[in-house]
Structure 1
Amino acid sequence: MQDNIHALFKNHGIFIKVDKDSKIFLEGERAEALFYIESGAIQISQETESGKELTMRICGPNSIVGEGTLFCQLTYNSMTAKVLEPSTLYVLSQKSMEHLLTEQPLMMVEYLKWLQIENYKHQSRLRDLILNGKKGALFSTLIRLTNTYGKPLDDGAIVINFPLTNLEIANLCGTSREMINRMLNDLKKHHILTFDKGYITIHNLKFLKDEIACENCPLQICRID
């Protein structure tokens, strides 16, 4: 499916390069296009009424952003897309995407299958954030980051091969940076993980899973992108 969707964007979209910290679209801005990530990383976030930022996804290569406005009356973006590292994208207008999918029923089915998986991912993450408290929110986020960006090491540990500040982790967990600082330091003290220059290495993934009674969802669901 990814190859088919990639081909759709590549054949009909516009290729662009975007710099770190630039915004692809803003919350409240008119929604007019979808974006396929060829390389790089894009953060999808929403701001609460109090001004706090909640990060919903960190999307890497082969992800689509802006898909929520397709075939519906929602004409404004409900979230903001920020570039975390220099990225390359294919841009396809919403009207063009709707037309192409309508003309190709089999592609429409594949797109709907992909969208359903995305919905499962979001539901699973929101469930963990709501039901497991602040500690559970951090632990489930670390598990998802490991599944998405994890690189196994020879000693059995897994390094999350994507640098994150404590504030960025806090935004993923819907809590404060101070709370995340305390919990990460406690996990480090008990040799569950270590961190260096933004990179976290998980030494005891089983502990994190046991603490939140992890259901071992399929890896395509238990992700952060």
Structure 2
Amino acid sequence: MNTGLDYKRDIELMSNDLTFLLKSSSTCKKIPKGTYLFQEGEDACELYLIQSGLFQISKLTMDGKELTMRISKKNDLIGELILFADKSKYMLSALALEESEVLVVKKSYLEKELTRKASLTLEFMRFFFLYFSVQAFLFRLGMLKGPGFPVFY
């Protein structure tokens, strides 16, 4: 579905240094179709960069219905973390819609590196501000289009 908007993938919004930090510290993981990479409420200790495949990012509503927030694909980050917080939990779930592969970045490593490199910390904060602003916009767009409007970008 085309929303009429042209979006850059998450990785395209980052500097080479931040991209290198994420990729150099990661391990590769294959996710079978129909498998959850993570689920809402689980301990959040990893961030994921999609290398191939599609993921449905969703949230459960108060009445137990699943609300699709977005569909993420290659070069998108998923598993948004509350960095520098003890016992953070995933706020959303990620279901593989097809055979997929992700790069796994450990929260502990990312926190350590960002603590050491102030310029990357500032960039990381700016990236996530922009990221969450876009997600909020897409959520509002979906709400305006009505229930069941999937946000593909």
1:115 aligns with 2:128: yes
**Residue type matched to 1:67 in 2?**
E
Amino acid at match of 1:21: G
| Count of residues in correspondence between the two structures | 140
Aligned AA (2:20): A
Q: Identity of aligned pairs, percent?
A: 29
Alpha-carbon distance, 1:2 to partner: 5.2
- Are 1:43 and 1:57, in contact at CA under 8 Å, matched by a contact in 2? yes
Which runs of 5 or more residues in structure 2 are unaligned?
1-13
Q: Is the 8 A contact 1:6 1:62 kept in 2?
A: no
CA-to-aligned-CA distance 1:119-153 (integer Å, 9 cap, x gap): 111221233344x3xxx337xxxxxxxxxxxxxxx
C-alpha RMSD of matched pairs (Å): 2.1
Specify the alignment match of 2:95 in structure 1: 82
* Cα contact 1:16–1:88 (8 A) shared by 2: yes
Q: Answer yes or no: is the 8 Å Cα contact 2:43–2:87 preserved in 1.
A: no
TM-score (norm 1): 0.56
Taking the TM superposition and a 5 Å limit, the aligned residue runs for 1:117-156 are: 117-130=130-143, 132=144, 136-137=145-146
Report the CA distance shift for 1:72/1:87 in structure 2 as closer, same or farther (over 3 A): same
Shift of 1:6: 3.1
> Do the aligned residues in 2 keep the contact of 1:40 with 1:87 (CA within 8 Å)?
yes
Contact 2:142 2:150 in 1 (8 A): no
Looking at secondary structure, tell me which structure has more helix per residue. 1
Give ranges in structure 1 of 5+ residues lacking alignment. Answer: 139-169, 174-223
Give 1:24-173 correspondences, 5 Å limit. 24-73=37-86, 75-130=88-143, 132=144, 136-137=145-146, 170=148, 172=150
CA distance in 1, matches of 2:86, 2:117: 22
Contact 1:54-1:172 within 8 A present in 2 as well: no
Q: Letter of the aligned partner of 1:10 in structure 2?
A: K
Q: Which structure's relative contact order is higher, taking Cα pairs within 8 Å and 6+ residues apart? A: 2
The TM-score with structure 2 as length reference comes to 0.79
Largest Rg, 1 or 2: 1
